[in-house]
Structure 1
């Protein structure tokens, strides 16, 4: 997701701050969306029986794949909590972190904000996030999947509630596998098999319309998500980003070098497209131009919609855990959606009620049905309705080996974006992985010292 120009960011930030202080109309870059009107009543969490309005900064209300789930979630919450009304502040993902930081610093924080494992450290560092241990209670805290909980715990306090864990798994296109002479029902189980399968698919060249066919899609854009995915690849080669003391050890050993060699091989060899964002790769997979992609549990809904074939497209692809690499296990991260209650919120009890609802069995049932997302709560993840098919079982299995991103430093998101320069250096600059590492990693280490 590419950064916009300073004027555009400034304008959208101003719009966001204005919307937090007063109800307004759609500004284009941010949207205000509310659920259906609800009558006053005696719902839990409302002060003195009067209606309370809480603001919710999020990106799911402005993304086509999740708008319907968002609308149903808000409608259900306001129906069951008639004294609490939600004013939604929809912000495009690429602008999200900066706008929340600016508005909160200006004294206008949303009551609840979406987050992820890149954004939360920045929100904690800026003292925007309020500890949730007491607000949500011990029973809720003990119900969080261990890997997710580790990623939101700072100095012993849970600073964000994991919502949807989004462990990444491997999707493969059965049609392209068959055309490449591969068994369409046999996805790769090892890293080396995945590379060989990708090369065979890319060797198909172009489809009947002249569209290039790629074997696998690896992100190469200059954004923090690409940095996360490079780190995931390095983990498959046995690497680490930081040691137990938080010191950067990304350049130690051969894992990062191996990961960059893999990226150079895939992108330089036209096995994977160059400079792509996930928003580029997903429609390529959905239209048969990409043999494999590592993506989250919302993939099924996205691919159905993007293909134009709906559920019929399910016959053309499969999903499996990420192939085993050098470590001997399926390496992936929780790239999860999280929920933060703002430290500056004047409606913390109501904000907590909203968070509790969004991670409840009822809400996750809606979200899972419409978008295939899993739950970060142990009790809900184990429910039969969350394991009703092979798709759900794969992602629940992937959660067992998923790691939290090593993101406790507030500069982690910036570090991940900076690390993408290494991909550019080896794929476009013609330099070696060693040269890329020696150029970029010292800058990341310096960033962490500031």
Structure 2
């Protein structure tokens, strides 16, 4: 049989098997629910199948069920590869799990509004499971989280367009570089980690030469499109920090995707801008040390390559820490991304220094479906799950970073502690919305391999980016219009309730302020689209 045809048939068969499995589990849950009508059953669905995560949920579930004997909380574990299709099937079918993990690249604002319950009002109430914590008992549920769930653009638990919280996070995540200490000693006689980008590229070159001398097929870096994004995005954002400050027109030290897209169409920057080209050169320089074909490889492939000793280093996040540390048959080290500062000879022009991770947002966000039969019980479980005591156990069991104030970081992942001191992130070629991101993914191969060329990438995408960014602004404008329409009725209701108490007045003021902000964004988007036309 043709290998390509076999691979395609295998993929289809795998998808069918996954859907059949999820369908059988849903049917099984329905039967169990019907047989135990006096028991409140909460189903919690997520795609975190990494070692330790399911065990962490199980530990918290066991504690909660001991407190509430008439409640059963059941995990529904769905592989990430079929999650998007599975989720849409569940939502459209009208019987999704009560609590569902979400992400802004999987769930649109329209889906949030149609299928999920806003949690904003719940988050402003105290979490009674923190009543024994002196520093948290008077705080709102939202204020108990590290960073207090600041509602900025990239987070997965808040919709900036709908002005609502829709999910509650359960862990934090940062990205670091894992390295095989034994392999590095074998190839170059040392496992010293690099502190600067120049040292990092010198290390990669030494590993490449060492592997060649010993006739071993070993790459300095394990690669996949996912892992490469983790590393190159961080490096690119360092060399464009000064540009980001210039483009940040509201001067809040946070260059949003919207601001970047507007500035692009208004000709304030392009891929010909020197520091933006330098960011592409960085990507090219990193990618040359990965195995051929990394663009087609998946995250699991890169991790397997590292664990099998075929690559000396792997850039990935907290989510893979337990799996790597448990499965590796060699000594593993972890280091932070090497620094690029203003003194760097090649990349220092646009740099301020290391990027601060103090605004690292929470991950594994759980949202409440509108069709939940026990919404208040589901909210209560979320409160228990994100109490200080439970988050401590969750973090210790999963080896993920805690998301609640005052919870200690497990020693195993101490290297992932967010960097507090640093500067704002700059631009990245991978952060301008779905349409522009697809261009990057389909052309990044031009920055890899023996014939890698920044010039080739820029020329191949020159006519594509303006159209894609225009489409992204049009999409955002549509969402802004829908937000304004929805919030008009909300404001009218709050205005009537304002007579009965200060809370309604406070909410009215917040919604009114955000409404004005959204109207300003819509006007700016429309003016940009009209005044700076792009040929189709």
TM bucket by the smaller chain?
0.7 to 0.9
Distance in 2 (alpha carbons) for counterparts of 1:356 and 1:399: 27
How well do the aligned residues superpose, as a CA RMSD in angstroms?
4.1
User: For residue 420 of structure 1, what is the aligned residue in structure 2?
Assistant: 441
Q: Mapping of 1:356-371 within 5 angstroms?
A: 356-371=383-398
- CA offsets per residue over residues 396-417 of structure 1, 9 Å max, x none? 23477698999xxxx9467545
**CA separation in 1, counterparts of 2:79 and 2:158?**
26
The residue correspondences of 1:11-26 to structure 2 (distance < 5 A) are 12-13=18-19, 16=22, 19-20=25-26, 23=29
Using a 3 Å threshold, how does the CA distance of structure 1 residues 78 and 412 change in structure 2: closer, same or farther? farther
Tell me which residue corresponds to 2:404: 377
Structure 1 unaligned runs (5+)?
Answer: 26-33, 41-48, 381-385
SS at match of 2:102: strand
CA distance in 1, matches of 2:275, 2:79: 34
Assess, with a 3 A threshold, how the Cα gap between structure 1 residues 401 and 23 changes in structure 2: closer, same or farther.
farther
Q: What is the aligned counterpart of 1:172 among 171, 179, 184?
A: 179
Is residue 197 of structure 1 aligned with residue 222 of structure 2? no
Q: Deviations over 1:141-192 (max 9, x none)?
A: 11223396432332443222121111112223322333344642x4222223
The worse-fitting range, judged by mean Cα deviation, of 6-15 and 322-331 is 6-15
2:469 aligned residue (416, 421, 445): 445
Q: Does 1:288 align with 2:309?
A: yes
**Which of the residues 138, 153, 158 maps onto 1:153?**
158
- Matched residues in 1 for 2:213 and 2:115: separation? 50
Take 1:118 and 1:403, find their aligned partners in 2: how far apart are those partners?
23
Q: Tell me, yes or no, if structure 1 residue 320 matches structure 2 residue 344.
A: no
Residue aligned with 1:23, SS: helix
Mapping of residues 255-334 of structure 1, within 5 Å:
257-268=277-288, 270=290, 274-275=294-295, 276-307=297-328, 309=329, 313=330, 316-325=331-340, 326-330=351-355
**Secondary structure of the corresponding residue to residue 422 of structure 1:** helix
How far apart are 1:85 and its partner, in Å?
Answer: 1.2
Match of 1:213 in 2: 218
| Separation of aligned partners in 2, 1:439 and 1:322 | 33
1:52 equivalent in alignment to 2:72: no
Question: CA deviation digits over 1:380-423, x for unaligned, max 9?
Answer: 2xxxxx2353x5433223477698999xxxx9467545531121
Partner of 2:142: 141
SS state of the match for residue 198, structure 2? Answer: helix
| Alignment correspondent of 1:29 | none
Name the TM-score, length of structure 2 as normaliser.
0.64
Structure showing the higher helix proportion among its residues = 2
Q: Check the 8 A contact 1:419/1:441 in 2, yes or no.
A: no
Whether the aligned pair in 2 keeps the contact of 1:167 and 1:334 (CA below 8 Å) is no
Cα offset for 1:434? Answer: 0.8
> Following the alignment from structure 2 to structure 1, what is the Cα–Cα distance between the partners of residues 92 and 426?
26
Q: Distance in 2 between matches of 1:121 and 1:134?
A: 21
Aligned 8 A contact 1:57 1:114 in 2: yes
Residues 8 and 292 of structure 1: is their aligned pair in 2 closer, same or farther, counting only changes over 3 Å?
closer
Pair 53,339 (structure 1): closer, same or farther in 2 beyond 3 Å: same
Partner of 2:409: 387
My pick for the range that moved more, 237-246 or 128-137, is 237-246
Deviation at 1:194, TM superposition (A): 1.8
Q: 1:299 to 1:92 in 2, by over 3 A?
A: closer
Question: How many pairs are equivalent?
Answer: 408
Report the TM-score when normalising by structure 1.
0.74
The 3-state SS of whatever aligns with 2:90 is helix
Name the CA distance, whole Å, in 2 between partners of 1:337 and 1:197.
34
Aligned residues of 2:240 and 2:426 also touching (Cα < 8 A): no
Structure 2 residue aligned with 1:45: none
Determine the structure 2 residue equivalent to 1:342: 369
2:81 matched to 1:80?
no
Deviations 1:279-323 (A, max 9, x none): 12223333333222222224432113322x4xxx4xx22223222
Alpha carbons 1:283, 1:306 under 8 Å: kept: no
1:166 to 1:287, Cα distance in 2 relative to 1, 3 A: same
List gaps (5 residues or longer) in structure 2.
1-6, 126-139, 245-254, 341-350, 476-536
Q: SS where residue 56 of structure 2 aligns?
A: helix
Is contact 1:55–1:88 with CA below 8 Å preserved after alignment? yes
User: C-alpha distance in 2, partners of 1:197/1:420?
Assistant: 27
In structure 2, C-alpha distance between the alignment counterparts of 1:104 and 1:433, rounded to whole Å: 39
Shift of 1:436: 4.3
- How far the C-alpha of 1:113 sits from its partner, in A, is 0.7
Q: How does 1:101-120 map to 2 (within 5 A)?
A: 101-120=88-107
Distance 1:334 1:269, change over 3 A: same
**Farther off after superposition, 65-74 or 118-127:** 118-127
C-alpha contact (below 8 Å) 2:188/2:210 kept by paired residues: no
Larger Rg: 2
